[in-house]
Amino acid sequence: MSAVDAVGDAAPSGVGTATGIGTAAEGGPAAGLDRTGGTGMGSDGQRIRRPGRAVGTRFFRSELRLIFGRRRNQAGMLALAAVPVIIAVAMRVTDVPAEGHNAPGFFSSITSNGFFVALAALGVELGLFLPIAVAAIAGDSVAGEANLGTLRYLLTVPVGRNRLLAVKYAGIVVFAFTVTLLVASVGLVAGLALFGGGPVTLLSGTQVGFGDGLLRLLAVCGYLAVGLCALGAVGLFVSTLTEQPMGATIAITMLSVTSFVLDQIPQLDWLHPYLLTHHWQAFGELLRDPVEFDALRPGLLSAAAYIAVFLSAAWARFGARDVTS
């Protein structure tokens, strides 16, 4: 499915697809339509009714089909889902258990409870794979349309610039939550299949029921997804600066990696609280009893600040941009 297909799906009755749209100056079908919804005059002189909310809903559904229907995105999600399976199989066939201080993350607990495969997979993929996946979607959001030459048609359909940015970011948010839940779900299924389940021993040493553990895992996914949404907001802004989606994706990925690297330098401890990825590892607080919500608040506030600042920057940049492609 191409971006032109998304335009056609978002266009109301009486308005053609991107390949047949004329601008107001050209006297095309879009010339007599009010972009805010309501009614307008078609090329045949008949009044056309265009409910703006319905168009926005169709546009959002088209954006989701565009994101999840692309082969490269499906391949990326398959790669993300393969990591927890590899972890579970590797832990099952190895003769050397992961124990002691050298065990990364939750690996040392996997053999006693398959539940921890999901947490181990999230911990492994959080450093690179999940940010790359979100960077690819965010980088392609606006720059991809410009690169294909469909951005101008999207704005002609009519879809206002504010609505376009809102739909693009909503798609990024849905993708961030989806891939996080995907990794956790596949890890949970693979872990239970190979190691079984049972009561979950938290980081604080308290043992809780399996149902309580699932709720905590869901909360972990939500917390991490919010952080990835902040990265997506940065990516949306970067995507408005260029017409090369690959360049935008690389820039966003490098920003994420740089944030992780700077967070490991003790001499820059004054900078750490302001880094995008600094608070991501705080999800472990959800696996303590009681949960230290005060330790989670800075991460949520930091993500909210990044989202507000960079969505505003994207709106300012895209609103003033001369769209010619």
Residue in the structure block whose two tokens are 């307008």: 40
Domain ranges of the chain: 1-51, 70-319
Single out the residue of 256, 231, 241 nearest to residue 314, CA to CA: 241
Q: Phi and psi of 39, rounded to 5°?
A: -120, 165
Q: What is the DSSP string of 261-310?
A: HHTT-GGGTTTGGGSTTTTGGGGGGGGSSS--HHHHHHHHHHHHHHHHHH
Angstrom distance (rounded) from CA 55 to CA 53: 5
Q: What is the pLDDT along the chain (325 residues), one digit of tens a residue?
A: 444 444 444 443 333 333 333 333 333 333 333 333 444 444 455 544 444 555 568 889 989 999 999 999 999 999 999 999 999 999 999 855 555 444 446 888 898 999 999 999 999 999 999 999 999 999 999 888 888 777 766 666 556 778 889 999 999 999 999 999 999 999 999 999 999 999 999 988 899 999 999 999 999 999 999 999 999 999 999 999 988 999 999 999 999 999 999 999 999 999 999 999 999 999 999 999 999 899 999 999 999 999 999 999 999 988 766 555 5
Helix (H) or strand (E) holding 39: strand 38-41
